[in-house]
Amino acid sequence: MSAGEPTTESRVERAEIDRSLRGPVLFFFSSGIAWLLLGSALGLLSAFKMSFPHLLDSAGWLTFGRVRPAHLNIVIYGWASSVGIGVGIWLMARLCRVALRHRGMLLGAGVAWNFGVALGTAGILAGQSRSIEWLEFPGWATPVLFVAYALIGGWGVIMFRYRRPGHVYVSQWYLLAAFLWFPWLYATANVLLIWQPVQGSVVGAVNWWYGHNILGLWFTPIGLASAYYMIPKVLGRPVHSYYLSILGFWSLALFYSWNGMHHLIGGPFPAWMVSASVVASVMMFIPVIAVAINHHCTMRGHFHYLKWSPTLRFTVFGAMTYTVVSLEGSLMAIPSLNNLTHFTDFTPGHAHLGLYGFFTMTMFGAMYYIIPRLVGWEWPSAAMIRWHFWLAASGIALMVAALTVGGFLQGLELNDPQVAFMTSVAVVAPFRFVRALSGILLAAAHLVFAVLFVRMLMRRGERREEATLLAPQGTHSELPTV
Amino acid sequence: MSDPPPTPGPFADPPVKPDEIDLGKVHGSILREHEEPAEGRESVPLWFVTLIMMLVFWAGFYLANHSGGFRANVFNPVPGNQSPVPPDPATLGRRVFVQNCVICHQASGLGVANQYPPLAGSEWVLARNGHADNYLAAIVIHGLEGPVIVNGRLYNGAMPPWKFLRDEEIAAVLTYVRSQWGNAAASIGPDFVRQVRERTADRAEPWTQRELQAIEGRTAPKAAGNASPAP
Amino acid sequence: MNKLPQLFAGIFFVFATSWIGLVAYPYLQLGHMQPVKSAVTGEAAPPPLTGSAVAGSRVYAANGCIYCHSQQVRPAWLSTDIEKGWGPRQTVPRDYLRERPSFLGTMRTGPDLSNIGVRQPSVRWHFEHLYEPDVVTPGSIMPSFRFLFVQRPVRGKPGVDAVAVRGPNAPPPGHEVIPTQEARDLVTYLLSLRRNEPLPEADGSPVRQP
């Protein structure tokens, strides 16, 4: 397949595929955005509670220890998974060149997924949290999610099975893998931790095997699949190297899945488990550098497109952050450095850089590409897209900077036996306040995006056939196909 | 493609057959779109292959040296990484203090107003103004409840008994608090703590201030046991 | 990589290695730990949890204590945890064999609680601290858990377990603060956290006098 001028047949085929995806994908996007707003509000509340512990402290359901896991689970299962499923299904259908069949059932699964998230969140706030990180939903909510997922993931795999003959693109490997890994992860974790709980310390191992893999083997492959699609698609050039793609994919599968125990260095585990994760974490240099070279060389000579294309700007921001956050993660796993960052605010800084700076930004980029094709309408306001980008980018940069520096100082105090514990609380306090302020920027970015999304659904603004660009194109004639 | 038309869902448009799509009505985003992406065939850079080789070599080396034979009861991957052997009394005193005492008396030794009395400058700690060394040891062993006056202020809290601490640990922490925050009183040895423990062996409840002050005051022998001199 | 079966098999087997390595094999190695006979008390160590402590661990989970408090002591060759006073020795898998789940935690926004039952054995202190943390510990950012307590009018003599409240959330005159069963269970659980039993496999295990 070459990146030549598309034929009329291929255009009709794509139009047909997009039409078949319209309902389910827009449903996953809208519910995801609704969860994003709620998740941002809860995240903001937890952040301010760390600076003002008396804020809303009279009721159990508003206590920090419930609001924080509610924030995390809403953002993971409500926002990131929903939008990831939407983007994943769209990419899969486009690349397999098959229209979606039985979309009513997929929609039903989406409704069930959202019902499961709502049920689980209510359970956490009502005091039924399991306090197993990333798996706080009570045992009576998780089966709903699992059944809903089985239907959703099945769609991805079935589409792959019935794909049109031809080359299988790198994004398809990542998506197929993600759709297969997630149920395995989720089922294992639920069986061993919630339905048939294992002995105490094994809980820690399974917990972080799950916690790290849902990031590494569910969100990361979807984010990379999207970046691998969007960058060459918008530029109209091929991805740099098929061999690097292969290397990146299989080394990610092999090494990322062994990373979990680096969250528990020094914990009650035999030396070999921790050492295996330390090695795997450092070996993550291989997939990360492979993907970074591949994306960078695809972009090379075309960075000025970032001025115009919303898709590319968000996606490239995400892809670059992926490199940064992964290298940071590898370094954090080295025991002598981990000793400083472990148990401090450095870790949530790292988590936000990964899940927001990389995944969420990449998904925003994908949505800027996909939604006009589903709605048949162009984005009504370039100014709002610019606001969305700069609020989100500055918000996440400020948040990560505050947590990284604050966590570093906190770690120094925590490790110094001559210093009282309360010093470590005091030293990080101003940074926690800055982090809370950065949350306002992110929440504002999400509000802007939500308004833009609703205006898009309602087809506000004037009817146009050309793309909404972030800046006037000037003398450049190569129109980005945003 | 012989697929049946998509089943309409709540969000769906009326079903459309491919040949019904008029290219003139297809939205501009589809028309201007490039072909689906493809892959180039550039080779993997040599420096990266070298880096991978080095990483693989390092991984094998690290695992061989840090896996503890993959056994369940090996927690220390490098046998040379020995933990410090039993600490000297000065370190032990600080360790016991941060472990068991700071929660109430605070790292500053100033306590919490009305509740947890200060240790800094306290006549109880320094055995001044009619307070004796054995009161201090007895408080740590059995605890203290109810109102207590320290430096002219009233505190009303409850200190639990710490009798599970070893004599060396109690002696070390007493010596520690008597040498911090400007305190400078003689050290207390484990033998003295053992004697106090024996003399008050029948005590089951925490003391009150009045009960303590009713017992006979005793002074710890100078430089007793192996307690360290105050720094 | 154009064939579904090969791709599928690769995706399956590569992931299976980590499932075997970090889930199945650790389960075989660590999933069936047995208590040992305590050198101090002669009874099983770690001791079984009482019903109230088990209920308390659910209160601990429900209110998300884990997000600020860890329950693991790292060995002295790796960290300063022992110097810092979190426990006399590193924690090992056997310490957690009664717990389903365990609350190892990954944050020390607040102090480590591995040995809180040793470090602060006073029930009164825990009630007061849960009710108004920043009054009991100046500078603390722990939220108040006063929703685990009830205020009631004093009938006759004050209740024996009435909490001595000093701060701004003190009850109105003639009222007292009494811990609910949840608060009592939580404190029972906290006091049960004593991972100081000398264990042969744990680095730094002190030799204790009987």
Structure tokens given for A84? 């990831």
Q: Subunits that touch chain C (at least 3 Cβ pairs < 8 angstroms)?
A: A, B
Q: What distance separates the 2 farthest-apart alpha carbons in chain C?
A: 83
> And the tokens for A469?
């660009």
Looking at chain C, which residue has its C-alpha nearest residue B105? Answer: C137
Q: How far is B17 from chain C (nearest CA, A)?
A: 29
Residue C30: how many other CB atoms lie within 10 Å: 26
Asked if residue B56 has pLDDT above 70, the reply is yes
Chain B residues 25-44 within an 8 A CB cutoff of chain A: 26-44
Give kind and range of the element (H or E) at residue A213: helix A200-214
C-alpha–C-alpha distance, residues C120 and C118, integer Å: 6
C-alpha distance from A158 to closest chain B C-alpha (Å): 13
Give the model's pLDDT for residue C204. Answer: 61
Q: What tens digit of pLDDT does each residue of A149-205 get?
A: 998 988 888 888 888 888 899 999 999 999 999 999 999 999 999 888 898 889 999
- When CB atoms are compared, the residue of B75, B86, B158 closest to C90 is B75
**Mean pLDDT of all residues in chain A?**
93
Q: For residue A258, how many other CB atoms are within 10 A of its CB?
A: 25
> Which amino acid makes up residue A341?
T
Q: What pLDDT score was predicted for residue C87?
A: 87
Write out chain A residues lying below 8 Å of B56, CB-based: 283
Q: Which residues contact B214 (CB under 8 A, 6 or more apart)?
A: none
B113 phi and psi, to 5 degrees?
-50, 140
In a 10 Å sphere around its CB, with 0-12 CB exposed, 13-18 middle and 19+ buried, how is residue C41 labelled? exposed
Least confident of A104-118, A442-456, B174-188, C178-192: B174-188
Measured CA to CA in angstroms, residue A322 lies from A162, A278, A319, A396, A406 at distances of 32, 19, 5, 13, 22
When the candidates are 3.40.120.10, 1.10.760.10, 3.40.50.150, 1.10.357.10, the CATH number that belongs to C36-203 is 1.10.760.10
Q: What are phi and psi of C44, to 5 degrees?
A: -65, 140
Rounded to 5°, angle at Cα A405 from A399 and A407: 90
pLDDT at A391 exceeding the cut of 90: yes
- How far apart CA B142 and CA B139 sit, in angstroms, is 5
Which chain A residues are Cβ-neighbours of B106 within 8 angstroms? 420, 422
Alpha carbon of C170 to those of C126, C128, C164: distances in Å? 16, 11, 9
C-alpha C179: how far from chain center: 19
Query: Can you list the alpha helix ranges (DSSP code H) found in chain B?
Result: 28-31, 46-66, 89-96, 102-105, 123-126, 133-142, 167-177, 190-199, 209-214
CA-CA-CA-CA torsion sign (A173, A175, A176, A179): positive
pLDDT at A5: 75
Residues of B in contact with A417 (CB under 8 A): 94, 98
CB count, 10 Å around CB of B153? 12
| Residue B10, pLDDT above cutoff 50 | no
| CA C97 from centroid of its chain's CA atoms | 13
Query: Who among C75, C85, C90 is closest to B98 (CB)?
Result: C85
Q: Is pLDDT at B11 greater than 50 in this prediction?
A: no
Q: How far apart are CA A319 and CA A316, in angstroms?
A: 5
ipTM associated with this complex? 0.93
With CB atoms and an 8 Å threshold, state whether C137 touches A263.
no
Taking contacts as CB-CB distances below 8 angstroms, the residues of chain C near B110 are none
Interface test with C, best of B75, B76, B139 (most C CBs within 10 A): B75
What is the structure's pLDDT at C1?
62
Cβ contact B68–A282 (<8 Å): no
Task: State how far residue A227 is from chain C, nearest Cα, in angstroms.
Answer: 20
Which two three-digit tokens encode residue A32?
């995801």
Q: Dihedrals φ, ψ of A132, to 5°? A: -110, 115
- Residue A77 Cα, gap to closest chain C Cα (Å): 19
| B104 closest CB neighbour out of C30, C84, C125 | C125
Burial A425-438 (b: 16+ CB within 10 A, else e): bebbeebbbbbbbb
Whole-number Å distance between alpha carbons of A331 and A408: 14
pLDDT value of position A424: 95
What tens digit of pLDDT does each residue of C76-134 get? 888 999 888 898 889 999 999 998 899 999 999 999 999 999 899 889 899 999 999 99
Instruction: Please answer yes or no on whether B164 and C137 come within 8 Å at the CB atom.
Output: no
Nearest to C22 among A64, A180, A205 (CB): A205
> Which residue from A263, A268, A342 is facing C95, i.e. has the nearest CB?
A268
Architecture, CATH, for domain A10-457: Up-down Bundle (1.20)
Comparing CB atoms, the residue among A50, A198, A258 nearest residue C18 is A258
Identify whether the C-beta of residue A216 lies closer than 8 Å to the C-beta of residue A257: yes
Position A107 scores a pLDDT of: 93
- Residues in chain C with CB shorter than 8 Å from the CB of B112 are 135-138
User: Distance between CA A393 and CA A391 in Å, rounded?
Assistant: 6
C95 with C195: CB under 8 angstroms? yes
Examine the pLDDT at A327 and tell me if it is beyond 60: yes
Shortest CB distance from A203 goes to which of C8, C80, C102?
A: C102
Q: What is the pLDDT of residue B1?
A: 40
User: Chain B, 168-207: which have a CB under 8 Å from a chain A CB?
Assistant: none
Distance between CA A92 and CA A169 in Å, rounded? 10
Q: At what angle do helices A285-299 and B46-66 cross, to 10 degrees?
A: 160
- Answer yes or no: do B30 and A101 touch at CB < 8 A: no
CB pairs under 8 A between B and C: 74
pLDDT tens for each residue of A287-310? 999 999 999 999 999 998 898 899
The angle formed by the CA atoms of residues A224, A226 and A229, to the nearest 5 degrees, is: 110
Tokens 């090996």 label which residue?
Answer: B74
Lowest mean pLDDT among A313-317, B77-81, C94-98: B77-81
Please spell the DSSP secondary structure of chain C, one letter per residue. Answer: ---HHHHHHHHHHHHHHHHIIIIIHHHHHHTT---EE-TTTSSEESPPPPHHHHHHHHHHHHTTGGGT-------TTT-STTTTTS-SS---GGGGTT-SS----SB-SS---TTHHHH---HHHHHHHHH-HHHHSTT--PPP-GGGEEEEE--SSPPTT-----STTPPPTTEEEEE-HHHHHHHHHHHT----S--TTSTTPPPPP-
Q: What is the mean pLDDT of residues A251-257?
A: 95
pLDDT at C159 over 90: no
Interface contact flag, B103 C119, Cβ < 8 Å: yes
For residue B45, give both structure tokens.
């850079």
